A and B are shown apart, each in its own frame.
Chain A
Amino acid sequence: MPKLLIVDDDPNLLRLYREELEEEGYEVEVAAGAREAVEAFDRTSFDCVVLDVQLAEGNGLALLRRFLDLRTEVPVVLNTAYAFFKNDFSTWSAAAYVVKSSDLSELKAVVRGAIPPKAA
Chain B
Amino acid sequence: MSADHHPSDRSPEERAASRGRRGESNKGDAPPRGENGREDAAWSAVEHVSRASLTASRLEDLLALILRETAALAGADAGTIWLVDTRTGRPRLAGRIPEESHEEPSGIRETWGPLVEEAIREGRPARARIEADGGVEETVAHPLVAFDETVGALAIRARPAVESAPLRILCAQAAAAIQTSRLFERVHASARRLKAVEREVLRNEKLATLGEMSAKVAHEIRNPLAAIGGFARRIEKGLPEDDPKRSYTGIILKEIGRLEALLGEQLEIARSPAPRFQMVDPVDLVRDTLALVREEIERKGVRLIRRGGGAVPSLLLDPDRVKQVLLNILKNAVGATSRGQEIHVGTRASDGWMEIEIANNGERMPGEILESLFVPFASAREGGCGLGMAVADQIIKEHGGEIRVRSTREWSAVFTISLPIRTNEDRRRTPERRRRERRRVA
Contact A84–B230 (Cβ < 8 Å): no
Q: Mark A31-44, 1 if CB is under 8 A from B, else 0.
A: 00000000000000
Contact B223–A81 (Cβ < 8 Å): yes
Q: Does A10 contact B (CB under 8 A)?
A: yes
Contact B218–A102 (Cβ < 8 Å): no
Contact A54–B219 (Cβ < 8 Å): yes
Contact A83–B264 (Cβ < 8 Å): yes
Chain A nearest CB from B361 CB (Å) reads: 43
Closest residue on chain A to residue B228 by CB atoms? A102
Closest residue on chain A to residue B268 by CB atoms? A83
Residue from A19, A54, A83, A100 in contact with B226 in the complex, judged by beta carbons closer than 8 Å: A100
The interface residues of chain A lying within 8 Å CB-to-CB of B271 are: 83-84
Q: How far is the CA of A23 from the CA of B421 in the complex (A)?
A: 61
Q: How far is the CA of A79 from the CA of B228 in the complex (A)?
A: 17
Closest residue on chain A to residue B225 by CB atoms? A102
Q: Mark B226-245, 1 if CB is under 8 A from A, else 0.
A: 11111111100000000000
Chain B nearest CB from A79 CB (Å) reads: 10
The interface residues of chain A lying within 8 Å CB-to-CB of B228 are: 102
The interface residues of chain A lying within 8 Å CB-to-CB of B253 are: 102
- Asked if A16 meets B268 with Cβ closer than 8 Å, knowing A10-B223, A81-B218, A81-B222, the reply is no
Q: Mark A66-109, 1 if CB is under 8 A from B, else 0.
A: 00000000000000011110000000000000011111100000
Report, as a range, how many residues of chain B touch the other chain. Answer: 20 to 34
Contact A16–B215 (Cβ < 8 Å): no
Chain A nearest CB from B218 CB (Å) reads: 6
Residue in B223, B225, B232, B260 with the greatest tally of chain A CB atoms within 10 Å: B223
Contact B233–A82 (Cβ < 8 Å): no
Q: How far is the CA of A4 from the CA of B233 in the complex (A)?
A: 22
Contact B223–A13 (Cβ < 8 Å): yes
Contact A102–B226 (Cβ < 8 Å): yes
Query: Which residues of A from 1 to 28 have beta carbons under 8 Å from B?
Result: 10, 12-13, 16, 19-20
Contact B256–A102 (Cβ < 8 Å): yes
Q: How far is the CA of A104 from the CA of B227 in the complex (A)?
A: 10
Chain B nearest CB from A53 CB (Å) reads: 10
Contact A102–B260 (Cβ < 8 Å): yes
Q: How far is the CA of A23 from the CA of B233 in the complex (A)?
A: 14
The interface residues of chain A lying within 8 Å CB-to-CB of B234 are: 16, 19-20
- Asked if A82 meets B218 with Cβ closer than 8 Å, knowing A19-B234, A102-B253, the reply is yes
Contact B267–A101 (Cβ < 8 Å): no
Residue in A13, A16, A102, A104 with the greatest tally of chain B CB atoms within 10 Å: A102
- Asked if A13 meets B230 with Cβ closer than 8 Å, knowing A54-B219, A102-B260, the reply is yes
The interface residues of chain B lying within 8 Å CB-to-CB of A103 are: 229-230, 233, 257
Query: Which residues of B from 255 to 294 have beta carbons under 8 Å from A?
Result: 256-257, 260, 264, 267-268, 270-271
Chain A nearest CB from B13 CB (Å) reads: 93
Contact A10–B227 (Cβ < 8 Å): yes
Q: How far is the CA of A82 from the CA of B215 in the complex (A)?
A: 7
Chain B nearest CB from A86 CB (Å) reads: 10
Contact A81–B219 (Cβ < 8 Å): yes
Residue from B224, B230, B267, B270 in contact with A104 in the complex, judged by beta carbons closer than 8 Å: B230
The interface residues of chain B lying within 8 Å CB-to-CB of A54 are: 219
Contact A101–B215 (Cβ < 8 Å): no
Contact B227–A84 (Cβ < 8 Å): no
The interface residues of chain A lying within 8 Å CB-to-CB of B264 are: 83, 99
Q: How far is the CA of A99 from the CA of B271 in the complex (A)?
A: 15
Contact B215–A102 (Cβ < 8 Å): no
Chain A nearest CB from B67 CB (Å) reads: 67
Q: How far is the CA of A19 from the CA of B215 in the complex (A)?
A: 28
Q: How far is the CA of A100 from the CA of B222 in the complex (A)?
A: 7
- Asked if A20 meets B230 with Cβ closer than 8 Å, knowing A83-B267, A102-B225, A102-B253, the reply is yes
Contact B215–A84 (Cβ < 8 Å): yes
Chain A nearest CB from B93 CB (Å) reads: 62
Query: Which residues of A from 46 to 72 have beta carbons under 8 Å from B?
Result: 54
Q: Which 8 A-B residue pairings sit nearest by Cβ, starting from the closest? A: A102-B229, A81-B222, A12-B227, A16-B230, A81-B219, A83-B267, A10-B223, A100-B226
List chain B positions with a Cβ less than 8 A from chain A: 215, 218-219, 222-234, 253, 256-257, 260, 264, 267-268, 270-271
Q: Could you pull out 10 A-B pairs where Cβ atoms are within 8 angstroms?
A: A12-B224, A13-B223, A16-B227, A20-B234, A82-B215, A83-B264, A83-B271, A84-B215, A101-B229, A102-B226
List chain A positions with a Cβ less than 8 A from chain B: 10, 12-13, 16, 19-20, 54, 81-84, 99-104
